[in-house]
Amino acid sequence: MRFWTVVFALAAVFNFAVGLPMLLAPEAMLASLGQPVPDDLLMTRLASLLIVVLGVGYAMVARDPAANRPILWLGVIGKAPIPLLVWQSGGAAGLSSSAFILSLGDLAFAALFLLYLLTHRRG
């Protein structure tokens, strides 16, 4: 079980490391990822807030995986499509390799969450 506690704690840290800078300093974070800065940052900040909130959820799972197991379904649903969305957004603007590589972290966590859910059935 120690392995899974570490995985879920790392997922929380990953979300905090991405979400907090994007929430508090979106221009700098977007620039570091090679992404254009939109004129209106409301949607960026809202998305960042959700990333941080999900990080809190993953921290809850790390503390008690059995009790907070359903939170992982949100992670699977939310993280699995991120590389595709990042790749699609590349389009004419050109794909930022750092943004795409970062999105692969989400895909890895989604796969690990799904593995946990399928191998640690409630009951």
Query: Tokens 């399928």 belong to which residue?
Result: 118
pLDDT, position 92: 47
Angle between helix 97-119 and 2-24 (nearest 10): 140
pLDDT tens over the chain, length 123 residues: 799 999 999 999 999 999 999 999 999 988 887 788 999 999 999 999 999 999 999 999 999 999 999 999 999 999 999 988 888 877 545 566 777 888 899 999 999 999 999 999 875
User: Which pLDDT belongs to residue 100?
Assistant: 82
Rounded CA-CA distance 17/105 in Å is 12
**Domain spans of the chain, in order of start:** 2-119
Tell me the pTM.
0.88
Query: Within 10 A of 30 (CB to CB), how many other CB atoms are there?
Result: 19
pLDDT at position 123? 59
